[in-house]
Structure 1
């Protein structure tokens, strides 16, 4: 039985001021008239029906997500009591999925997806998901999707493949190890070797397999899951369930599934893919998505006057922006908030968010 878990608890701080705590990046319509989370759900609906799609989020975003996804049952929208990173969130939601479908007496495959990734080749993506689901069902492995790199990117983690031959797309390989985000020189070595893929953060496993990995690699998490399960079987949902398990959730160590399981598990495989993927990690990623003018400027939802200005990104709905003699800037307006940043500092926008929140709290 194939199910999906869409991770939608992130705050998208690198997209401030467009992204806010109650309407983060996954709820924005950046590339079409649909929000990114709506596109994510629509992408998998041809192979996974709505009643088998689950959304993991937090209390700040739950109402917006309900409005955005009316076809997803409220009992499938899982509210995390507190942010304890992806190991806790994934295990918690898998407990709920198991309880809901326990009467079916069959293996439950779970596809873990981000709610804010861009994937252009939807049909190819779906075929790969089905192939990965067959692998995990038959061989009790964990499958991840590795993106075939086209440049020495330093913003992604990498997957080293245990294979001496040239990697073929859409085939299944044994993972040798996961690598952290490299410097530029190391990234260039990875690309030259042909044995490395970008870590997409998309996983497929059965609930049996993931909990066996928790038992061996994260036994403290498994102890908490056993306590939480006693609350889940009481048929609570939504905020009521979230409140009832919070005292257990607070016991979790804050750690990602990558650090807790993926880097140490002995039964992980990877499928190299080329599916038009982009994790849209910052405003700079928009340069890979949108067409620019002759001077390299990307102007979105904005009227502009441009003279001797190059390679800027401007998103200022409802106003006219004049650019004179500037280059490599990010200029974004949302309501009363305006961001002006150099592209080189795009990864540091969350530092501005911290200062902004301090200013709001002070006032």
Structure 2
């Protein structure tokens, strides 16, 4: 018999989300049901609501979640009932050309549950990033579950499921920040703040946080930023160069994902430096750069997919760092809210000043 829960659904582009009855089927082969304990409100959920990712409405929102496995389908061996898990949206297949080349973080055939969750009238739902976790139970592929230390609270651990991992990984995995590097992070929301924290943990000696919001700049200092830049005070490129001996940063991370911030990142890096794009653009955005500058400046222009992470490797490691007091996941939680407060959380996200609203179920 399917489980009946209340889930946060967006039925059409730009419409406010609603609480709807959702039917969650019993798990089939390779699937599990997870009792969701907490789920962060990520900007990607807002992208779904506004039609910035696709038009497969209705969408079941929520993906940055942690909870407990409550039911197993046939053949599941990587988790057991009662395991505390963080959900991930890139469950690697192990068989595609990226996996076979030893680069599973680029997996081109990631797993999701085969069965759809539906509205009460049988309408299939499209799950945000293949998860759909703004509800008390959700159905996912077992590979989307990463077991972590249950001593970590779900409000903190769940944030590893998307934004925190994306930002941390953009610095450590994609940007390969190492001891003595200089790093600039443009945009210091949840993802950017995590990139600042990752750069600091990796040993960067100069970590420059760039944001228009003074509150976010102050939070960035708490995560390890050594300097802050407010674009309202002057040219960002010049400011970053002034803080790096006139050269520019070794690694510049664009956590906004707009043409203007990418241009800033491109020119704020040192010669042969690295640009990492982790902020998600919308489909209509385009970028124009002089090709001679692309050639002449050298270095690397990279996109970071989910922080180029391997959940089974990176989630437990970050939870261990959290429990050791070296990575303050709690500092990302601006507020805890209920399922009925997601639309208001979207509004606060647009107003700024919020790293993460976290739905507690």
TM-score by length of 1: 0.27
TM-score by length of 2: 0.27
Using CA pairs under 8 Å that are at least 6 residues apart, name the structure with larger relative contact order, 1 or 2. 1
Rg larger in structure: 1
Q: Between Structure 1 and Structure 2, which shows a larger proportion of helix residues?
A: 1
